[in-house]
Amino acid sequence: MVSMDEARSNGTHEGDNNNGSGSSNRSSEVLGANYSGTVMTEKARLQKIKEIESSHVSPGLAMYMSSLAMLTPEQGAFDKVRVIQGILHSLTTSLRRMPGVSSAQANEIIDQLQEVGRITTTETSNLVNAIACMMVDHQDSNEAAARLCMEITLARARIDDLTSQTGELRNEVLEERNKRQLAECDVKKIMGELHDLNKEFNTSTGRDELIDHFQDTIKHLEDQVNNRRSLWVMKHPDPESVARAMKTLTASAKDVALRTKGEASQPNNAGPGTTRAEVDETPTHRPPSAFQPPSGQSLPPPRLGALTAGPPRAPSVAPREPRRQDWAPQPPPNRPASAAPMHQTPSGYGRPPSARRNTRYRPNAPDFQPSGLGAFANNDYQGNRQAYSNYGHGANPHQHTPSSHGRSRHNSFRYANSPASGSDYGSHSRANNNNNNNSRGANNVNGVSNTSNGGNVNNSRPNAVGPLIVLNEQSVADWNAQVIDLYGQIRTFVERSAHLPEVAPLTELTSAPLWSILLDTYRPLSPEQATAYLTYHLQQENSKSCLVTRLMVDFIVNRILTAAAWVGFDTEIDFAIIDLEKDLQLALGQASSVRQPLLDRQANIVNSVTTSTRGPQWIRRKMEGLATTMTYNLKPLLNDFVDTADAYNDLLRIVENAWELGTKILTSRLTFDFRFPEIGSRYSSQSMVPIWPLMDPMELQSQHWRVALVTTPVITCRNDTGTNISAHSVCLADVFCMQ
């Protein structure tokens, strides 16, 4: 047998010979390690140890055992133990058979050999287990070291990136600092130059001469304008010019009588709250409109931003005829059949049809009396069907108001009467005395004299013409300011109470009376096309706000800013307004000498109501009825959380403002024209302002954009009291465009 010292020395020499192979094996283990970062569980560790023990791959242990038992290193540890056990068993058998050895000595030696076998087996098993654990720990250490190396490498790369970024930022800061210094130097240089120029300008001797030259140029240009005999000649009161103007006006009026004391106290200015002596001829900048965005840049569509009104424009004074002929009235029994309205075929985009005479009053149309609300539908005035309902205007829903012969071509309002509004004519039925009403209404041209209510309408002059009116840029700016203020109130109400888009199905809305009114805002589109447009606009917040605004403006234009709004005060006033509007229809296309006396009659009628003893109470009830009607009709479009009472109060304030504006319009003796552009017509920068898209108006016009939704009308004002036509643009139309 080989001694332990020899085996240890042999193992040491063999270990020295295998140092190179050990380092290469270690590097291969590191490269082949798993770097997933997960720690091996206890169960997996035990399984790994069992696999190592079963394979007995331990070169060092094999060499040690081979040195003891003269075995090859390739054999397993437990195989070598079994060989040793076999050798010990052979020795035990030999001792028992060996002669000269007593049985006691043999048994003692055999017990010692068996103990050596047990110790060898136990120690070999423990040694294999320890080596397996050491191999597993060594593998874990290699993986941890590899992960640590990778983390260190990543950290170094991150530090290098941060260092590079820091250097770049420092360079940028240095460049910006240099640029700032250069800019400061340029600013200092420019400020020095401006200071030198200012000093030079203040010390210049030719400044006064330059100012005088500019004043002479301005005066020369004003003289050129005055040479065209416009109303600006009133700024230079030439006696001969005034005499010629008065002579022309006197010749146009056949019977001119002196005005009464009440009429003489009435202001004759062009704008509200301005006397003729206070009119300033200097052109002023008109305030912005209520819906135009602040600039023409391409930005997202705003929620009803502020608008800037365009330059004043004098539109055509020829009246445009509405295209609605769905409720044409029957010819009156006492009138010739030729007085019936003639139907016309609607024209294309923006081309007005010829003017025609149209009977206006037919309140018994179905849209004016939903749910049986038109209690006075069958009562007749003057032997025909021209009686009024509370808010209906009869056969022509786009009616011409006395102050606007060419009112909107597509005014859509056929508002249903609310249950609380009642009828303005419920106490003035004249069905049983048509002949007396006919004679009295036909002979009363200027108005009536009412003694029961304190009203005073002069009926002694069939063609009375008032004094001249000066209509200039300042007065137009005053009108524009009042209209913009009204638009602002409407916009505030919409943004607070009716701006949320319709997310639910429109089934309930389509069955409401308001649906037909909504469809009418998209004329001349077909009902199917209008429904598609309307559905899309109601589901968008911005377009829905503009649509509700359009409905409110449409209601105000057709129900408040018209002489028909004053019907119902008493019988005499009613007949005076009916006769006045008939005469205005007959005066379409006539000279200003024919139209202007009618506007004077209109002002007298409205003044007689406002100055009567019970006028304020009646006006208050009228405004409350209008607010009730607006609340009733707009209720389907209000937000869910809006209280109806609060909405009514807000609408009442809007109606009060609109009524005040309407009173000033009707008593101004000016011709106001409200026109809503047609859907699908080409965009025109002269009469429209884009709400969306926010592009240059000239670019929209050059690219042939078209109108998709109209929010406000084009408002023009015309003065017929002078020798020439004086027309001005008060407000432009706010529109949504499409391509």
Percent of the chain scored above 70 by pLDDT?
A: 57
Please give the average per-residue pLDDT across 7-24, as a whole number: 45
Answer yes or no: is pLDDT of 415 > 70. no
Query: Residue 48 has what pLDDT?
Result: 76
From residue 481, alpha-carbon distances to 452, 640, 671 in Å are: 38, 33, 18
Q: Which of 116, 10, 130 is nearest to 77 (CA)?
A: 130
Pick from 50-59, 365-374, 547-556, 608-617: least confident:
365-374
Task: Please spell the DSSP secondary structure of 470-491, one letter per residue.
Answer: ---HHHHHHHHHHHHHHHHHHH
- Strand 714-719 with 726-731, pairing: antiparallel
Which pLDDT value is given to residue 6?
Answer: 42
231 or 172: which leads in pLDDT = 172
Tell me the pLDDT band of 590, cut-offs 50, 70 and 90.
confident
The predicted-structure confidence for 80-126, as pLDDT tens digits, reads as follows 778 888 888 888 888 778 887 788 888 888 888 888 888 888 888 88
Q: What are phi and psi of 688, to 5 degrees?
A: -135, 155
Task: Give the CA distances from residue 630 to residues 327, 559, 565, 588, 719, in Å, rounded to whole numbers and listed in that order.
Answer: 23, 10, 14, 31, 32
Structure tokens at 404: 């606007």
- Residue 416 or residue 496, greater confidence: 496
- Residues 523 and 412 sit within 8 Å (Cβ to Cβ): yes
| Local confidence band at 225 (pLDDT 50, 70, 90 cut-offs) | low
- Look at residue 362 in the predicted model and tell me its pLDDT: 35
Return the pLDDT at 464: 43
CA 683 to chain centre: 19
**pLDDT at residue 240, rounded to an integer:** 60
| Per-residue model confidence (pLDDT) at position 713 | 96
Task: Give pLDDT, residue 238.
Answer: 56
* pLDDT of res. 564: 94
pLDDT at residue 617 is higher than 60: yes
Q: Give the pLDDT confidence score for residue 697 in this predicted structure.
A: 92
Cα–Cα distance, 460 to 446 (Å, whole number): 7
Model pLDDT for residues 634-645, shown as the tens digit of each residue: 999 999 899 999
Domain ranges of the chain: 4-195, 253-333+353-670
Pairwise pLDDT comparison (361 vs 726), residue with the higher score: 726
Taking the CA of residue 217 as centre, how many other CA atoms within 13 Å lie in the half-sphere pointing to its CB? 6
pLDDT at 76: 66
Whether the per-residue pLDDT at 531 is higher than 70: the answer is yes
pLDDT for residue 325: 32
What is the CB neighbour count within 10 angstroms for residue 48? 16
Burial category of 491 from C-beta neighbours within 10 Å (exposed 0-12, middle 13-18, buried 19 and up): buried
Q: What is the pLDDT of residue 274?
A: 41
Residue 291 has pLDDT above 70, yes or no: no
* Tokens of residue 728, six digits: 């001005």
The Cβ of residue 396 has, within 10 Å, a number of other Cβ atoms equal to 24
Write down the H helix ranges in 227-296.
Answer: 239-252, 261-264
Question: In the numeric block, which tokens belong to residue 313?
Answer: 């424009």
**Mean pLDDT of all residues in 611-633:** 95
Sequence-distant (6+) residues with CB within 8 A of 610 are 619, 663
Angle between helices 615-634 and 644-666 (to 10 degrees): 130
CA distance 307 to 734: 8
pLDDT of residue 609: 95
- Reported confidence tier of residue 400, pLDDT bands at 50, 70, 90: very low
pLDDT at 529: 92
**Would you say 714 and 681 are in contact if contact means Cβ atoms under 8 Å apart?**
no
| Residue 603 pLDDT greater than 60, yes or no | yes
Rounded mean pLDDT of 424-451? 35
pLDDT surpassing 80 at residue 67: no
Q: What is the pLDDT averaged over residues 277-300?
A: 41
Which 8-state DSSP code applies to residue 401? B
In which order are the strands placed within the sheet that holds 733-738? 688-692, 733-738, 706-710
Cα 37 from Cα 203, distance rounded (Å): 85
| d(C-alpha 358, C-alpha 135), whole Å | 110
* CA distances for 396 relative to 15, 166, 587, angstroms: 117, 77, 17
Residues 6 or more apart whose CB falls under 8 angstroms from that of 666 comprise 402, 403, 561, 563, 566, 602, 603, 606
The helix (H) or strand (E) run that includes residue 457 is: none
Q: Which of the listed ranges 65-79, 283-297, 574-588 does the model predict with the highest average pLDDT?
A: 574-588
pLDDT at 102 (0 to 100): 80
Q: Which tens digits make up the pLDDT trace of 638-668?
A: 998 999 999 999 999 999 999 999 999 999 9
Residue in this structure with the two tokens 């149209």, named with its chain if needed: 358
257 within 8 A of 461, measured Cβ to Cβ: yes
Q: Kindly report the number of other CB atoms within 10 A of residue 216's CB atom.
A: 10
What's the CA gap between 476 and 737, in Å, rounded? Answer: 27
Average pLDDT over residues 492-506: 90
Which of 49-58, 232-241, 263-272, 305-314 is least confident? Answer: 305-314
- 252: pLDDT strictly greater than 60: no
DSSP state of 398: S
Residue 25: its pLDDT value, please? 53
**Looking at residue 56, what is its pLDDT?**
59
Average the pLDDT over each of 99-103, 316-320, 405-409, 724-728 and give the range with the smallest value.
316-320
Residue 5's pLDDT band, with cuts at 50, 70 and 90, is very low
Segment 339-358 shows an average pLDDT of: 34
Task: Give the confidence band of 35 by pLDDT, cuts at 50, 70, 90.
Answer: low
Q: 565 pLDDT band (50/70/90 cuts)?
A: very high
CA atoms of 119 and 112, how far apart (whole Å): 10
Structure confidence at residue 329 as a pLDDT band (50, 70, 90):
very low
Q: Percent helix, strand and coil across the chain, each rounded to 5?
A: 55, 5, 40
pLDDT digits (tens, 9 = 90+) for 465-482: 457 788 888 999 999 999
Highest mean pLDDT among 326-335, 372-381, 406-415, 464-473: 464-473
Please check whether residue 584 is in contact with residue 405, taking contact to mean a CB–CB distance below 8 angstroms. Answer: yes
Which comes out higher in pLDDT, residue 141 or 300?
Answer: 141
Amino acid at 110: I
Work out the pLDDT band at 510, boundaries 50, 70, 90: confident
Q: Mean pLDDT across the stretch 416-441? A: 37
Q: Is the pLDDT of residue 253 over 60?
A: no
pLDDT, residue 351, reads 33
What is the per-residue pLDDT for 246? 53
CA distance 615 to 457: 14
Asked whether the beta carbons of 661 and 269 are under 8 A apart, the reply is no
Q: Tell me: the pLDDT tens digits for 201-220? A: 777 667 777 788 888 888 77
Query: Cβ contacts of residue 9 below 8 Å, gap of 6+?
Result: none
pLDDT band at residue 735 using 50, 70 and 90 as cut-offs: very high
pLDDT at site 708 = 94
Q: What is the DSSP letter of 704?
A: T
Beta strands 671-675 and 714-719: pairing type? antiparallel
In the prediction, which pLDDT does 683 show? 95
Count Cβ atoms within 10 A of the Cβ of residue 327 and give its class: 0-12 exposed, 13-18 middle, 19 or more buried.
Answer: middle
Interaxial angle between packed helices 103-202 and 59-69, expressed in degrees from 0 to 180 and rounded to the nearest 10: 160
Instruction: With a cut of 80, say whether residue 587 has pLDDT above it.
Output: yes
Q: How many CB atoms lie within 10 A of CB 7?
A: 16
pLDDT of residue 101: 75
Tens digits of per-residue pLDDT, 144-165?
899 999 999 999 999 999 999 9
pLDDT of residue 421: 41
Cα–Cα dist 716/668, whole Å: 14
* Predicted local distance difference test score (pLDDT) of residue 241: 54
Q: In the prediction, which pLDDT does 282 show?
A: 40
Among 268-272, 417-421, 597-601, the range with the most confident prediction by mean pLDDT is 597-601
Of all residues in the chain, the percent with pLDDT exceeding 90 is 37
Residue 604 has pLDDT above 70, yes or no: yes
Q: Is residue 38 very low, low, confident or very high in pLDDT (cuts 50, 70, 90)?
A: low
